[in-house]
Amino acid sequence: MTIEENRFTSKRHTTFYLSSGPSDGPLLIFVHGWPELSFGWRHQIKFFGAVGWRVIAPDMRGYGRSSIYDSHSAYAQSEIVTDMLELLEHLGSDNAVWVGHDWGAPVVWNMGLHYADKVRAIANLCIPLGFERGVEELIKHVDRSIYPIDKYPKGQWDYQYFYMENFEFARNEMESDPYKVVKALFRKKIGEEPDQPVFSASIRERGGWFPPDGSPPDMPIDLDVISEEEAQEYADALTRTGFFGANSWYMNHERNSTYDAELSLAQRTLHMPVLFVHAENDYICYTIKGGLAEPMREACTQLTEKSVQSGHWMAQEKPEQLNAFLLAWLEHL
């Protein structure tokens, strides 16, 4: 199956995207998160294009070959959702099945909440409904038996406050060696067990992602997730773009909360089919137990839940299992 490279430019933004499958196939759009690329969906682009879907995977703003901006506000959810609306119009379709992961999941949730008529169905990985409202919404569901409030006031989401309080320092840490950062991040597990605090809960206390001097460790590649060639592709892209855009997605929690406040009560119930796939070994966004997924369950009237024994990067670590879940669900739409 051939994967094609494309570029679409509107009056306000340029989106680079990968595509596969028949031009008249039903539209399936994959939305990546931090710090990835359209390339992160490579296993899904080939698979679903081969079975007849028209598959689209954009580089999100701030990443790869899409537009990059020099203000934090340019990375608010309202701007990113508008990118997706323009892309959908460019593709000549009234709606699509949208699939999101990591920061891509809030984008997809927002498409369903704000523009339900543009959404045939939603599938999101790892990140349930709620993050699109801002990080404070996630803190409400921190498991205080693992993260006592006196020691971990922000729970596992402490790292997001480090971005807000020390943006340039965090950016410099990552830009110092993107290849090492990629190798350190793209792993099956980050953390020991689900009932133990993960390192993301103490980023501010530790003084950064990579203390003591801000230098990323030189870790071996986790070949169960990405190959050396794939790690280098990510690193090359992040070297070109830097981390300002990618990290600025974390600088808009207040704006995103304001955007969420525009919703009516009726809009807050999602009536389209929704698939949510839990990552059993994602200990930062741990949804297997606890209350983090409850708002999603309350808001979605046609919700299907599946679990994959993977870490956060399930689309790359366990593509066959994820693709099987997605295909079975899509066949019943």
Q: Say how far apart CA 210 and CA 215 lie, in whole Å.
A: 6
Measured in whole angstroms, how far is the alpha carbon of residue 235 from the centre of its chain?
A: 18
pLDDT cut 70: percent of the chain above it: 100
pLDDT in tens, 249-274: 999 999 999 999 999 999 999 999 99
The two beta strands, 96-101 and 27-31, are parallel
Mean pLDDT, range 292-320, rounded to an integer: 98
**Per-residue confidence band for 192, with pLDDT thresholds at 50, 70 and 90:** confident
Q: Which CATH number fits domain 4-330: 3.40.30.10, 3.20.20.140, 3.40.50.1820, 3.20.20.70?
A: 3.40.50.1820
Measured torsion, CA atoms of residues 45, 312, 238, 122, in degrees rounded to the nearest 10: 50
Distance CA 254, CA 133 (A): 8
The predicted model gives 107-111 an average pLDDT of: 98
- pTM for the structure as a whole: 0.98
Residue-wise pLDDT for 74-98, tens only, equals 999 999 999 999 999 999 999 999 9
pLDDT at 191 over 90: no
Domain ranges of the chain: 4-330
- Tokens 């404070």 belong to 136
With cut-offs at 50, 70 and 90, classify the pLDDT of residue 72: very high
Confidence of residue 58 (pLDDT cuts 50, 70, 90): very high
Indicate the average pLDDT of the chain: 97
Whether the bond into 106 is cis, omega within 30 of 0: no
Q: At residue 215, does pLDDT exceed 90?
A: yes
* Alpha carbons 5 and 181: distance in angstroms, whole number: 26
Q: Is the pLDDT of residue 16 over 90?
A: yes
Whether residue 1 is predicted with pLDDT greater than 90 in this model: the reply is no
User: pLDDT category, 229, cuts 50, 70, 90?
Assistant: very high
What's the pLDDT tens digit per position in 151-163?
999 999 999 999 9
pLDDT given for residue 190 in this prediction: 86
